[in-house]
Structure 1
Amino acid sequence: MLPLPDVAERLGLSITRVHQLVRDGHLLAFRRDDVLVVPEDFLGPEGVVKGLAGTITLLRDAGYREDEILRWLFGDDPTLPGTPIAALRSDRGREVKRRAQAMGF
């Protein structure tokens, strides 16, 4: 878990821009010990992991809460195999998005 200032530094953005990414749903953040943090797995070498924002949007549109989205992203899925976030990190976003869309029905 990374506090938002560390996320800003890793992404080369201002802290206000990171807050905007969270507000816009491109990143999920939650409070841990009164500090807003983002899972480090959400960040890759080029920035926010490709496909993460779209996956978050699909799940939100399907009625999932942020804690449920986090649980799903980090939960093991034997059909991928692995976790959805690991699949996104390895450029298998299409498969992750298919599963996220199917969860909405």
Structure 2
Amino acid sequence: MHSYTTWLTLSELIERTGLSHNQVRRLIEDDVLPAVKDGSELRVPGAFLDGDSPRNDVRGTVTLLLDIGFSRAEAIDWMLTAEDSLGTSPIEALQQGRKAEVRRVAQALA
């Protein structure tokens, strides 16, 4: 797991978003908030939230990565790792409003 980002547990996500347990689980299952297992607990990068809400640009990017053969863990790792062609990590580029550029770079990985 990347240490530069905060990793949120299911309980922390419920508290932060104000959503029910079932709603948060659905967001995880639908890759709106992609998660990885840490021991027996699911964790989601805090960077995948915009304030207290899921970022609306994460799901499409992660879906693209899954479609080209990445595992969920690999997709999350790619989103959080500095990408030379972007000059920053993909999640930081998304936060800067560079969704089309991030998706072009992700597509080129196929």
Q: Same fold (TM over 0.5)?
A: yes
* Structure 2 gaps, min length 5: 1-6
SS in 1 for 2:87: coil
Count the aligned residue pairs. Answer: 104
**Contact 2:85 2:105 survives alignment (8 Å):** no
**Contact 1:50 1:89 survives alignment (8 Å):** no
What does residue range 20-39 of structure 1 map to in structure 2 within 5 Å? 20-39=26-45
Q: Residues 9-68 of structure 1, C-alpha deviation per residue, up to 9 Å, x if partnerless?
A: 222211111111111121211222322111111111261123100001101111110121
- The match for 2:54 is 48
What does residue range 47-66 of structure 1 map to in structure 2 within 5 Å? 47-66=53-72
The one-letter code matched in structure 2 to 1:21 is: L
- My pick for the range that moved more, 8-17 or 35-44, is 8-17
Provide the rounded CA distance (Å) in 2 between the counterparts of 1:46 and 1:87: 19
Cα separation, partners in 2 of 1:97 and 1:46, compared to 1, 3 Å:
farther
Provide the rounded CA distance (Å) in 1 between the counterparts of 2:88 and 2:32: 22
Q: Percent identity?
A: 37
SS in 1 for 2:66: helix
TM-score calculated relative to the size of structure 1: 0.89
Quote how far apart the aligned CAs of 1:83 are.
0.2
TM-score calculated relative to the size of structure 2: 0.86
Query: For the aligned residues, what is the CA RMSD?
Result: 1.4
Task: State yes or no: 1:10 paired with 2:16.
Answer: yes
* Structure 1 gaps, min length 5: none
- My pick for the range that moved more, 87-96 or 52-61, is 87-96
SS in 2 for 1:67: helix
- The match for 1:67 is 73
